[in-house]
Amino acid sequence: MSVYIQSAAQISIQEPLTEKWFAEPHIPAGNFNLSIEPDYKSFIPPAESRRMGRLLKRAVTTSKEALRKGGCEMPDAIISGTGLGCIENTEKFLNAMLDNGEECMPPTAFMQSTHNTISSQVALTLKCHGYNSTYSQQGFSFDSALLDAFMQFELGKIGTALVEGHDEMTPDYYNMLGKIGYWRKETADTEKLRKSKGVGSISGSSSVSILLSDKLNDNTLCEIKNIVTLHSPNKSEIWNVVSRLLAKAGVAMSDIDAVVVGLSGDAENDSVYESVMSQCFTDKPVVWYKHLFGESFCASAFGMYVAATILNNRFIPKHLLYKSDKGINNVKNLIVYNHFHNKNHSITLLQSIK
């Protein structure tokens, strides 16, 4: 059984629905970053879009774009992850509840306040009657969705799947998370995030749709060799899992070209990555991405997307390398490692097919 990434599409604080960030990244100017929205009218008829909040429009648009790029008309499964769901609509509904004394509740905002709206809405729009699930495990939502898809492939139940990560940030929620140390107090640019560890990072909004298939085609970006998730592991457990994962794929540690991690400039978050890197991946080049896409509950979806784009180009540009003066060519194998609060960990091995 093989699982390939056929295509991917993103809407974020980078230019939407393109890979322009790979050559010419937009460097976030502040700590509160909203997505750059594409013209949704090209993807969603007005009669449908009027019932969709911003996040649903993003989800439907990136899904359609990933399917188009991957040459797939209808996926067998739609599996997404979201930390907050349609938080903008949830806030709208809760505010209306307070304003109206728990009477006169707007039904559209209520419908969109449930987390599973995302996969369901994409399925309704595509008229997809296959397997459908939305995972909501905060910063481990996308990883759970990807693991589910991988297991469905292993069981032979599906041949294609849209795996997605979607989260939006509102000013109110940004302020609340800021109070518990999610964001930098001072304006932080890339160099500050890299060199001066502190409390918090910069925010982002994430919408990534990735099309998986069990068959190679001309569009294939790379192969997912395996994915493993762990809960509260110690360092030796992580090392054992990495060793088993590599052995099963027939890949030696010396074949790994780089490790893609969620370094964000937050001292507590980064210390976990640095500890695992020094224990398991000594001297391996480190690829980071949160300085370009920001921190969000589904930021790990960008880790997968960035890794797939690197393997498709077989090149790591300098701006993605945490510590390096020049890019790396002929990239063949990447490990994507993510953790959420040092409890949930995921390790994925990706390989170029070129």
Partner 1 sequence: MEQLIEELKQEIINALNLEDMTLADIDENAPLFGEGLCLDSIDALELIVLMDKKYGIKLKTAAEGKEIFKSVKVMAEYIASHRTK
The site for partner 1 (CB under 8 A) is made up of: 46-47, 49-51, 100, 103-108, 111
Q: Of 1 and 47, which has the nearer Cβ to partner 1?
A: 47
Q: How many CB atoms lie under 10 A from the CB of residue 24?
A: 10
Q: Of 108 and 313, which has the nearer Cβ to partner 1?
A: 108
| Shortest spacing between CB 44 and partner 1, in angstroms | 11
**Over the range 325-347, which residues count as b (16 or more CB within 10 Å of their CB) and which as e?**
eeebeebbbbbbbbbbeeebbbb
Q: Of 103 and 283, which has the nearer Cβ to partner 1?
A: 103
| Shortest spacing between CB 242 and partner 1, in angstroms | 49
**Angstrom distances, CA of residue 176 to CA of 183, 189, 200, 299:** 10, 22, 13, 19
Q: Of 47 and 180, which has the nearer Cβ to partner 1?
A: 47
Which residues are bridge partners to 212 per DSSP?
5, 161
Q: Of 108 and 229, which has the nearer Cβ to partner 1?
A: 108
Q: Of 46 and 250, which has the nearer Cβ to partner 1?
A: 46
* Cα–Cα distance measured from residue 233 to residue 189, given in angstroms and rounded to the nearest whole number: 32
| Shortest spacing between CB 109 and partner 1, in angstroms | 10
Q: Of 18 and 100, which has the nearer Cβ to partner 1?
A: 100
| Shortest spacing between CB 81 and partner 1, in angstroms | 27
| Shortest spacing between CB 106 and partner 1, in angstroms | 6
| Shortest spacing between CB 169 and partner 1, in angstroms | 21
| Shortest spacing between CB 128 and partner 1, in angstroms | 22
| Shortest spacing between CB 172 and partner 1, in angstroms | 21
* Cα–Cα distance measured from residue 28 to residue 296, given in angstroms and rounded to the nearest whole number: 14
Q: Of 106 and 327, which has the nearer Cβ to partner 1?
A: 106
| Shortest spacing between CB 47 and partner 1, in angstroms | 8
Q: Of 108 and 190, which has the nearer Cβ to partner 1?
A: 108
